[in-house]
Amino acid sequence: MTELVRRRLARAVTAGFVAATALTAAAHGAAAADTLGSAAAGKGLYFGTAVAANHLGESAYTATLDREFSSVTPENEMKWDAIEPSRNTFTFGSADQIVTHAQGKGMDVRGHTLVWHSQLPSWVGGLGASDLRSAMNNHITRLMDHYKGKIHSWDVVNEAFQDGGSGARRSSPFQDKLGNGFIEEAFRTARTADPAAKLCYNDYNTDGVNAKSNAVYAMVKDFKARGVPIDCVGFQSHFNPASPVPSDYQANLQRFADLGVDVQITELDIEGSGSAQATNYANVVKACMAVSRCTGLTVWGVTDKYSWRSGGTPLLFDGNYTKKPAYDAVIAALGGTPGGGDGGTPGGGTATCKATYTRTADWDGGYNGEVTITAGDRAISSWQTTVTLTPPQKTQSVWNGSPTWDAAGNVMTVRPTWNGSLAAGASTSFGFTVGKNGSNAAPVVGACTAS
Interface residue list for ligand G3I (CB under 6 A):
75-76, 118-119, 204, 236, 267, 308
DSSP tag of 304:
G
Q: Is 391 exposed, middle or buried (0-12, 13-18, 19+ CB in 10 A)?
A: exposed
CA angle centred on 73, ends 158 and 319, rounded to 5°: 115
- Which residue intervals of 233-344 are DSSP H helices? 249-257, 274-290, 325-333
Of residues 296 and 314, the one with the C-beta less far from ligand G3I? 314
CB atoms within 10 A of CB 273: 15
Residue closest to ligand G3I when measured from CB atoms: 308
Nearest distance in Å: CB 267, ligand G3I: 5
C-beta closer to ligand G3I: residue 118 or 388? 118
Element (H, E) at 123: helix 122-125
421 contacts 332 by C-beta, under 8 angstroms = no
CB of 156 to ligand G3I, least distance (A): 14
Nearer to ligand G3I, 267 or 304 (CB): 267
Instruction: Please identify, using beta-carbon distances, which residue of 75 and 342 lies nearer to ligand G3I.
Output: 75
Minimum distance between the CB of residue 425 and ligand G3I, rounded to whole angstroms? 26
Catalytic residue among 68, 75, 159, 267: 267
75 is catalytic: no
- The distance of closest approach from Cβ of residue 120 to ligand G3I in the complex, given in angstroms and rounded to an integer, is 10
Classify the C-alpha dihedral 321-150-295-183 as positive or negative. Answer: positive
For 20, other C-beta atoms within 10 Å of its C-beta total 10
Length of the chain: 451
Give, as one character, the DSSP assignment of residue 71: E
* Least gap, CB of 106 to ligand G3I (angstroms): 25
Amino acid at 217: Y
Which among 232, 291, 292, 288 has a CA at the least distance from the CA of 263? 232
DSSP character for 305?
G
Q: State the catalytic residues.
A: 267
